[in-house]
Structure 1
Amino acid sequence: MAGLGQHITAMVRSHASGDDASFYSVALQVAAREAKAGHHVLANDIKTAVDASRERDSVGKITTLAQPRGELAELVEATHPAVQLRELVAPTELVAQIKQVLAEQRQRKNLLEHGFAPAHRLLLEGPPGTGKTMTAAVLATELAVPMFTVRLDSLLSKFMGETASKLRLVFDSVAQRRAVYLFDEFDALGADRSGNDVGEARRILNSFLVFLEEASTESLVLAATNHRSILDKALFRRFDAVLTYTLPDARQATAVIRARLGTLASGTSMAKLGDYTTGLSHAELVKAAETAAKTVLMRGDTKVQRDDLIAALTSRRTASLG
């Protein structure tokens, strides 16, 4: 009975703090305990109640989670994005991959019941500013879960010497709190360390490989990198899918600019802007559009002219391309 008492205490505390994920986790531990004791009907009733409650939580709102506390709070930053898939400007093939991930996640219970794991470990690779972080936000929004960005700078500097144990904390949270976990600028952690097999960096990478291999299907783990070529080759087979991002073509560039300008671009000709958008990332195009918009508004106008865009794009290209 002492063990059950501890479980009940933990459930009361997690309920009081608003940490639904921990509450459900402890409830499932109780179900497992009852199943081992031969109380299969009770165990199944508890599991069914948890599944039903989770389904209600995930419909139409972000899953309510307490902000990370204690050691975990130093390692991750929690946000609740509101970025829908239709806002992501990307090649058709990439959008199809993202839709497939979303479809598998939405059917994850069905897939797991038949012995198949939904895609939940993704490597996002491509130049800076091409939509990798935005994709993480889209997945979190569409699945109505929080987004936890892992602070690799803290992991690799502040906690050097105990990084592996801190990684375990993050992956324990992956199992306990359904969310999108983003390891941004992942090359800092996943770079090929073949020349340093006995060093701390190699031990960290090996720990990550083990944790990723065993990562719970409860959450999505995303690793974003600008430098695929320097990643350790052992990483790639651990991911369920690799999503490749590229600089936008002329059509996509126009879509990015129009989306940012909104009504300010009504009637503005953007034909043949390719000479000015080539080489710019999605993020740089957004910055150029914002520059043009502010210029127009400050001079008292309500519409961005083609010349305003060309001037802003030219300035941005000069700054970014040197």
Structure 2
Amino acid sequence: MATAEQFKALLKSHADGDDHRFYSIALQVAAKEARQGHTKLASDIKSLVEKSQKEDKVTAVSAKTLPFVHQPKSELKGLLELTPSDVHVEELVLSFDIKERLEKVVTEQRQKDRLREFGLFPRRKLLFTGPPGTGKTMSALMLATELRLPLYTIVLDSLITRYMGETAAKLRLVFDHIRQTRAVYLFDEFDAIGTQRGASNDVGEIRRVLNSFLLFVEQDYSESVIVAATNHPELLDQALYRRFDDIIQFEKPQLDQINMLMENRLSLFNLDELDWELVTQKALGLSSAEITQSCDDAAKDAVLYFDGQLSSDILIKALVRRNSRVQKK
């Protein structure tokens, strides 16, 4: 039977009119029932979902579609990349503290009008720090999904040029768009423009870019959400930190989160015989992305060579292989 969290998620997605999330959770329930031997119930749930999805497609085709209006203007092409987002908050496997802080951002944004009645403003300028693969980009995707906003990723390769003043001019265009179009804007690999002034490898243009960014972000009073993400917070100029409403430090998953990540990723397999204590210990030190990739590797091996039977040995071998690749980098 569905867990309490799944029931709540089903009700919430139905209330929000989010059919994709509703069907996804229903199929997770079906997979869980199948693993517990309730094959008839699992089959019925899956059939109902498939039938409902087909009806939705027919309705969508017959309905009049509106033109997509979120594409950036021509002068911003190459600078802003519209990124599809379909990540919900319950899909994130993060520590309680990080997830709570992200949910607070969502709640404040949804209740921004109520806050303003009391002269308060929602968090909207966020700095995400932490190792690669720990959920920074996924969290930006989640914010866009939950707030039903487009997500634009700033393409730093196109933004930064060697010509004096050109990068700052492009940055001004980006912030004009931030002001005019409410969305989530992701500055990924932010240390490329946020490097400390006076660093040994500092060049004049990058220093001017940082000064421009500090000015633009401080003067920005739009309703957009700005997310800067970096794997190297130690490289950032100290003046940046006070420009953000919240600084969230992401970390590699611990034992409970590793267990949850694996259960979610391998939900179509029978996991009852796995030695969870041994498996999760082998996964310690890997990022969420690396654990997910290991699960995918193990799942492929189980399907192709072991008739769909997943064992602790198969999963551990995949984790050890992934760990050795990480150590070679």
TM-score tier after normalising by the smaller chain length? 0.7 to 0.9
Per-residue deviation, residues 123-167 of structure 1 (Å, max 9, x unmatched): 000000000000000000100111101001111147764111111
Q: Secondary structure at the match of 2:269?
A: helix
1:90 aligns with 2:94: yes
| Cα separation, partners in 2 of 1:180 and 1:159, compared to 1, 3 Å | farther
- Within-5 A mapping of 1:237-252: 237-252=242-257
- Within-5 A mapping of 1:260-279: 260-269=265-274, 270-279=276-285
CA shift, 1:300, in A, is 5.6
1:297 aligns with 2:303: yes
- TM-score scaled by structure 1? 0.77
Residue of 170, 179, 204 corresponding to 1:199? 204
Unaligned runs of 5+ in 1: 1-58
Per-residue deviation, residues 219-249 of structure 1 (Å, max 9, x unmatched): 1000000011110000000000001100111
| Cα separation, partners in 2 of 1:100 and 1:273, compared to 1, 3 Å | same
- Alignment correspondent of 2:84: 80
- Within-5 A mapping of 1:127-206: 127-157=131-161, 161-195=165-199, 199-206=204-211
Residues 214 and 243 in structure 2, CA contact (< 8 A), matched pair in contact too = yes
- TM-score scaled by structure 2? 0.75
**RMSD between superposed Cα atoms in Å:** 2.2
Tell me, in whole angstroms, the C-alpha distance in 1 between the residues paired with 2:289 and 2:110.
Answer: 29
Q: Secondary structure at the match of 1:264?
A: coil
Per-residue deviation, residues 268-322 of structure 1 (Å, max 9, x unmatched): 4222323311210001001100100111111262232111100000000011023
Q: Which moved more, 1:269-278 or 1:85-94?
A: 269-278
Residues 76 and 149 in structure 1, CA contact (< 8 A), matched pair in contact too = yes
Residue of 98, 123, 138 corresponding to 2:127? 123
CA shift, 1:104, in A, is 0.6
CA shift, 1:261, in A, is 1.6
Residues 147 and 181 in structure 1, CA contact (< 8 A), matched pair in contact too = yes
- Within-5 A mapping of 1:281-320: 281-299=287-305, 301-320=307-326
CA shift, 1:183, in A, is 0.2
Q: Secondary structure at the match of 2:260?
A: helix
| Cα separation, partners in 2 of 1:143 and 1:151, compared to 1, 3 Å | same
Residues 196 and 236 in structure 2, CA contact (< 8 A), matched pair in contact too = yes
**Paired residue total:** 264
CA shift, 1:65, in A, is 3.2
Unaligned runs of 5+ in 2: 1-15, 19-65
Residues 118 and 217 in structure 1, CA contact (< 8 A), matched pair in contact too = no
Residue of 237, 250, 259 corresponding to 2:264? 259
Q: Secondary structure at the match of 2:116?
A: helix
CA shift, 1:79, in A, is 2.0
| Cα separation, partners in 2 of 1:300 and 1:198, compared to 1, 3 Å | closer
Taking only the aligned residue pairs, the percentage that are identical comes to 44
Q: Secondary structure at the match of 2:282?
A: helix
Tell me, in whole angstroms, the C-alpha distance in 1 between the residues paired with 2:153 and 2:164.
Answer: 19
Tell me, in whole angstroms, the C-alpha distance in 1 between the residues paired with 2:281 and 2:327.
Answer: 13
- Alignment correspondent of 1:42: none
- Alignment correspondent of 1:214: 219
Tell me, in whole angstroms, the C-alpha distance in 1 between the residues paired with 2:325 and 2:203.
Answer: 42
Residues 80 and 140 in structure 1, CA contact (< 8 A), matched pair in contact too = no
1:69 aligns with 2:59: no
Residues 130 and 249 in structure 2, CA contact (< 8 A), matched pair in contact too = yes
